[in-house]
Amino acid sequence: MKIMVLGGAGDIGSGVLEALCSMNVDTVVAGDVRYGAAKEASDHLKRVGCNCEAVKVNAIDIESLREASRDVDVVVNTIGPFYRLGLPIAGNLVRLGLNFVDVCDDYDAVENILGLSGEAEKAGVTGITGLGWTPGLSNILALHGSKLVGEVEAIDIYWVGSAADSKGLAVVMHLFHALIGKVPMYLGGLWTLVDAGSGEVEVSFPDPIGRLKLYYTGHPEPATIPRYVKVRDRVTVRGGLTPPWQNVFAKFLLRALNINSDAKAERLARIIHRVEGVFRMGGLKASALKVDILGDNSRVSYVAVDRMRRLTGIPAALGAVKIAEGKIREPGIKPPEASIRDTEEFLGELERREVKIVKVKEP
């Protein structure tokens, strides 16, 4: 079993590499355009007993990807921002006949990647898009909870991130992309567009997160979950940052600077990234996810608090291993809730790797 991680030298990519090493994968490959950084990540894992290789690869260049992926069984793509890079990389993987998982967290990119499913079926490629933290773990918990409550009225997903728990320009770009313009939600049994940053609610999380105000953000779950889980009323995603002043500051910047396009948002993201250390000060090295599933007569909530790279990297690695082992084999590209139907087994695998998911069932 040989699995390559694109962006393997990055924060999330290195998290996927570490997870794969813990799953006894025969060979893992850190693929990155920055060979020196990939080699450093590979050498670190070798020192702890992992058979890890490093390779220089430009995933946008199909010939570079072809050369780097020889003898690879599955590829995990962690290169963002996905609204710009997700589709071309997925397209290259399909054309090369490579099974893959990605951690795409942008709603428009997931829709475009799913549009490659017919081509993937013809090529015999199995792909899962959006298998990370949110989307990913959120979709699986939504599906799992829907089996417990009977007819599903609503699924509400909440996430909290922290600058102290992540690094990288792509993370900042994704955040701004999710907070500008209109974003998709499933409301009243229909797909609709809402203003990003609206829909404020207060949500409680376990310590050390606490109670925070969260807002509508552009994520893929409302676009995909209703296709595979029968939901009568709504599927929503709200998110925010901790400490809370960062939410206020981000919304102020977007409004004051009239950031209404990805081009403008990327310029702002580069400025923010250069002083990112300021935003990490006083922050928590933790991120959180909460999924509420409401049925006619009951409600189930799941909460997970952990490092972002673990919440994202471990589900992605598990999905890649299941494809490599032939446990997920149907050709085509699907979201997590359509690919991982045995949610109990998957969540059990996460628990064995100390991803703690707390279930609260309410009458």
The pLDDT averaged over each successive group of 10 residues in the chain (363 residues) is 97 96 95 97 95 98 97 97 97 98 98 98 98 98 95 97 80 88 97 96 92 96 98 97 80 83 86 68 82 93 96 98 96 98 96 94 58
Could you give the C-alpha distances from 42 to 5, 37, 312, 347, in angstroms and in order?
A: 11, 9, 19, 28
pLDDT of residue 327: 96
Q: What is the pTM of this model?
A: 0.94
Length of the chain as a residue count:
363
User: Using the 8-state DSSP alphabet, how is residue 161 labeled?
Assistant: E
Which two three-digit tokens encode residue 45? Answer: 């894992």
Domains in the chain, number: 2
Closest CA to 23 of 9, 43, 5: 5
Distance of CA 321 to the CA centre of its chain: 17
What single-letter amino acid sits at 251?
K
Query: Is residue 363, in this structure, part of any structural domain at all?
Result: no
254 and 335 in a single domain? The answer is no
pLDDT of residue 296: 84
8 Å CB contact between 239 and 217? yes
122 and 209 in a single domain? The answer is no
**Which domain does 126 fall in, by range?**
2-133+309-355
Closest CA to 306 of 357, 238, 347: 357
8 Å CB contact between 84 and 262? yes
8 Å CB contact between 134 and 161? no
Which two three-digit tokens encode residue 93? Answer: 């993987």
Q: Which residues pair with 332 in a beta bridge?
A: 126
- CA angle 208/214/215 to nearest 5° reads 160
Query: Is residue 361, in this structure, part of any structural domain at all?
Result: no
115 and 263 in a single domain? The answer is no
155 and 106 in a single domain? The answer is no
Domain boundary pick from 289, 307, 325: 307
CATH classification of the domain holding 29: 3.40.50.720
pLDDT of residue 159: 97
